[in-house]
Amino acid sequence: MRGGMQTAENTAGLGARRRRRLDAFAAAMLAAGAFGAAPGAFAQSPVSTPGSTEPLVSEQPALITADQLIYNDELGTVTASGNVEIEQEGRILLADTVSYNQSTEIVVASGNVSLLSENGDVYFSEYAELTGDLQEGFIQGIRALLADGVTRVAAARGIRTEDNRTVFERSKYTPCRLCRENPDAPPTWQLSARKVIHDQEAQEVRYRDVTLDVFGLPVFYSPYFEHPDPTVRRKSGFLTPSYQSSEFLGNQVVAPYFWAIDDNVDVTITPTFATKQYPYLNLEYRHLFPNGSLDITGSGTVADREDADGTTHRDVVRGHIDAAGKFTLSRNWRTGFDIFRLTDDTYDQLYGVGVPETRARVASNAYLEGFGGRNYFAANAFAYQSLRSEEDDRLQPFVVPELDFNYMSQPLFADSYLTADANLLYLTREEGRQVARASLVNAWTLPYTSDWGDVWTFRSRLQTDAYWTVGNDPDSPSTFDTTGQDSAFTGRVFPQASLEWRYPWVVQSGGWEQIVQPIAQVVAGPNGEWFNRGDIPNEDSLDFEFDDTTLFQPDRFNGLDRVDPGVRFDYGFQYGVYTGSESYSEVFLGQSWRLQENDVFAENSGIGEAGFSDIVGRFFFQPIQEVSAAYRFRLDQETLDPQVHEVTGAAGIPKLRLSAQYSFVNTQFDEDGTVIFDERESLTLGLSSRILSSVTATASVTRDLTVGLNQTATLAVTYLDDCFFFSVSAERRNFEDRDLEPDDRIFVTIGLAQLGQFGTTFEAGGLNSDEE
């Protein structure tokens, strides 16, 4: 070859004659030429011309490896061939052949060319022209794998400029993985465009004349489109709009805007424009602090509102706020709040706030918690709002404050320990009863395991309560609306002791393990109506449920306002068979016998004034992973008629799986004999099928057997892979309350990786409330 191979002295002489600075790449090529054609790799140091201290190259070293390096003095070119690799400042160029022209400072690479940029993007081609610093260039027939390792770009040619922009012409872009069995098949979705500009400094990808192809078929066209590149976690801009339709609001267009205020602060502004009502606005503010987080969501509009008595208020403000915060104050202390309030009790369903239809009320809470060893302290404030039309919000309680302190001692003699639970509460209402309570429960627990293996637990406790009330009716302590009654002080001291015995037997044979465990307990305390007399208000012990989980609790009430007096015997039997983590069965039966008469428990609660209680139990059966069934029940102790029972079951494999849930609850009363709710009976059936690895279908129906009406019915089909989500579902709801009417809805949701999600909701029309 003309010019031949040069010596190191000749190379330095060339630098002296030209007297100009060479970049790192050229110097590396010259140095490689000085070492001849032997393959190798080395780090390039700065080179100076004779008589000058000015370096000819960048201070950043370059690394070159190749099978052969040749310098042509006459043409001023350096050529590397055979497994060429050039690395500088985080950029790596691989090719079969690379040549460098000193006069134009252009690098030409050919044959299996790949360029790894400093941000992790990799470009592939058969031919490329680049500047000496590898920051600008032209690539023919380019293919690119971006830094996330999945996103791909293919184009007829690509041009990279020094401002970190890469322009692709006649290109395709997809974040979807290619099919392993058929890599030539079209990806799930891709964007085809006349021109794509990837601006790495702005971290944006912009398209001109773009078409969205799904499974190879064009479904959408736009003259211009842009989105953040895969390196962006969050960026200000409009999110994907959506379309919805409902009977109350009409057709709706939702146009959210995301504002990234800082790395740890953002706001989402979501206006919704409706054809039948005024526009409404939803705002979400999120703030992440070094010691906690804050998330506030609120919405508002002006619309008509209908009261429970049928009165319609025109153009009133309606809205909601949902705010949550949690902050760590120190290693042992934290504080926070969770606030949820609505202007009225149908706003959440009309405007899609997200409160379940079966939810009777919502609560707001602010708290302070402290942890130290085995001890715990909490200060809480609560406010409640009813979502039932028949309930008066003026009777809902405000609890400010409720203070709790729980103490547990270190183990004492014979592993016994002491506990102390203190509670201080003040409860008020806009109208109705006010209560202040101070309570202290001291207890001593002594566990013991005999040489025979049976387990004994002795517990003794003393509960001391003091009350101050305003507006309490002694004849109806569960009634809140007692305005006008006098204030009063009252209290009680209630001692109780219990002894529990358990004797577990374990039998192992042939891979089976059986556990048989009889359980018995005696509970003793003073008896009499005095301990639950009417001048002690009942605020926190209204929701009593007698079942297998409360049978062996010494005090079965879930609050402090009511105690479980007298002497009783509890007994039960538990049996389990286990053949591994996926196959097991369990059975439990239990009952209680009360020695003395006491009417503290309400009618139909399962515990009579004296004698035997109802029989409670549970049964769980899972012979294989694909089949399971559970049954929880409470049976009348005389007739064995079910008072409460719940059956759940599921069977099948992912290809086809069936599920069912049946529940029945008899009429429930409070301690005053007032009906809390009538008999309830419902059945829910479900079906799911994973038709393909990416396609699932589900269907469910919930029927109220008491009135013979389907409450809800849903049907959905979903496609999900690594880059595409599509779901279409239909829902029928038979729920009616003033401006809420039964309706049918169709939901369509499309999600594209890196681009966002688009959803629509259509209301197919109202139903008659008596239609099944």
What digits encode the pLDDT tens for the residues 681-696?
899 999 999 998 889 9
Model confidence band, residue 482 (pLDDT cutoffs 50, 70, 90): low
| Cβ density class 279-302: b for 16+ within 10 Å, e for less | ebebebbebeeeeeebebbebbbe
Report the alpha-carbon distance of residue 396 to residue 427 in Å, rounded.
10
Decide: 20 and 49 in contact? Cβ < 8 Å.
no
Cα dist from 746 to 49, 429, 743, 751, 763, whole Å: 77, 42, 10, 17, 6
Query: How confident is the prediction for the chain on average, in pLDDT?
Result: 82
Whether residue 590 has pLDDT greater than 90: yes
| Cα of 354 vs its chain's centroid, Å | 15
User: What pLDDT is recorded for position 29?
Assistant: 37
Report the alpha-carbon distance of residue 242 to residue 254 in Å, rounded.
5
| Of 159, 127, 125, residue with least CA distance to 145 | 125
Whether residue 197 has pLDDT greater than 60: yes
Most confident of 24-28, 287-291, 340-344: 287-291
Whether residue 436 has pLDDT greater than 60: yes
- State mean pLDDT over 215-237: 84
User: What pLDDT is recorded for position 738?
Assistant: 64
User: What pLDDT is recorded for position 403?
Assistant: 97
Residue 174: exposure state from Cβ atoms within 10 A (0-12, 13-18, ≥19): buried
Model confidence band, residue 55 (pLDDT cutoffs 50, 70, 90): very low
User: What pLDDT is recorded for position 740?
Assistant: 65
Report the alpha-carbon distance of residue 650 to residue 660 in Å, rounded.
7
- State mean pLDDT over 734-754: 76
Which pTM value belongs to this model? 0.74
| Of 571, 443, 565, 436, residue with least CA distance to 500 | 571
- For the chain, what is the radius of gyration of the CA atoms? 38
- State mean pLDDT over 477-482: 64
User: What pLDDT is recorded for position 614?
Assistant: 93
H or E stretch covering 356: none
- State mean pLDDT over 418-436: 93
User: What pLDDT is recorded for position 10?
Assistant: 34
Q: How many residues does the chain have?
A: 772
User: What pLDDT is recorded for position 441?
Assistant: 97
pLDDT tens digits, residue range 354-406? 666 556 788 999 999 999 989 999 999 999 998 877 778 888 899 999 999 99
| Of 407, 462, 471, 409, residue with least CA distance to 435 | 471
pLDDT tens digits, residue range 648-670? 999 999 999 999 999 988 876 66
User: What pLDDT is recorded for position 9?
Assistant: 32
Q: Phi, psi (5° rounding) for residue 491?
A: -175, -175
- Find out whether the peptide bond into 401 is cis, omega within 30 degrees of 0: yes
User: What pLDDT is recorded for position 484?
Assistant: 57
Which of 509 and 462 is assigned the larger pLDDT? 462
- The Cβ of residue 160 has, within 10 Å, a number of other Cβ atoms equal to 24
User: What pLDDT is recorded for position 676?
Assistant: 63
- The Cβ of residue 414 has, within 10 Å, a number of other Cβ atoms equal to 8
Residue 417: exposure state from Cβ atoms within 10 A (0-12, 13-18, ≥19): middle
Whether residue 511 has pLDDT greater than 90: no
| Of 626, 620, 624, 627, residue with least CA distance to 582 | 624
Report the alpha-carbon distance of residue 680 to residue 733 in Å, rounded.
18
Amino acid (1-letter code) at residue 441 = V
Model confidence band, residue 54 (pLDDT cutoffs 50, 70, 90): very low
User: What pLDDT is recorded for position 144?
Assistant: 83
Model confidence band, residue 23 (pLDDT cutoffs 50, 70, 90): very low
Cα dist from 98 to 84, 92, 101, 520, whole Å: 7, 13, 10, 87
User: What pLDDT is recorded for position 64?
Assistant: 82
H or E stretch covering 588: strand 584-594
- The Cβ of residue 665 has, within 10 Å, a number of other Cβ atoms equal to 19
Which of 28 and 203 is assigned the larger pLDDT? 203
pLDDT tens digits, residue range 495-508? 999 999 999 999 88
Beta-strand relationship, 242-246 and 756-766: parallel
Which of 496 and 188 is assigned the larger pLDDT? 496
528-532 long-range CB contacts below 8 Å, 24 or more apart?
528/565, 528/598, 529/598, 529/599, 529/600, 530/492, 531/492, 531/494, 531/563, 531/565, 532/562, 532/563, 532/565, 532/600
Whether residue 4 has pLDDT greater than 60: no
Q: How large a percentage of the chain has pLDDT more than 90? A: 39
| Cα of 224 vs its chain's centroid, Å | 34
Whether residue 352 has pLDDT greater than 70: yes
440: which strand partners? 422, 464
Mean pLDDT check: name the lowest of 10-14, 58-62, 131-135, 719-723. Answer: 10-14
Whether residue 57 has pLDDT greater than 60: no
- State mean pLDDT over 519-538: 91
Decide: 337 and 323 in contact? Cβ < 8 Å.
yes
User: What pLDDT is recorded for position 495?
Assistant: 97
Whether residue 15 has pLDDT greater than 60: no
Report the alpha-carbon distance of residue 121 to residue 91 in Å, rounded.
10
| Of 344, 288, 295, residue with least CA distance to 316 | 344
| Of 464, 421, 423, residue with least CA distance to 444 | 421
Token pair, residue 706, equals 């008491």
Report the alpha-carbon distance of residue 672 to residue 652 in Å, rounded.
47
Q: How large a percentage of the chain has pLDDT more than 70? A: 85
Report the alpha-carbon distance of residue 541 to residue 648 in Å, rounded.
28
Whether residue 281 has pLDDT greater than 80: yes
Whether residue 771 has pLDDT greater than 70: no
pLDDT tens digits, residue range 251-280? 888 889 999 999 899 999 999 998 888 999
User: What pLDDT is recorded for position 19?
Assistant: 28
pLDDT tens digits, residue range 615-651? 999 999 998 889 999 999 999 888 888 888 899 999 9
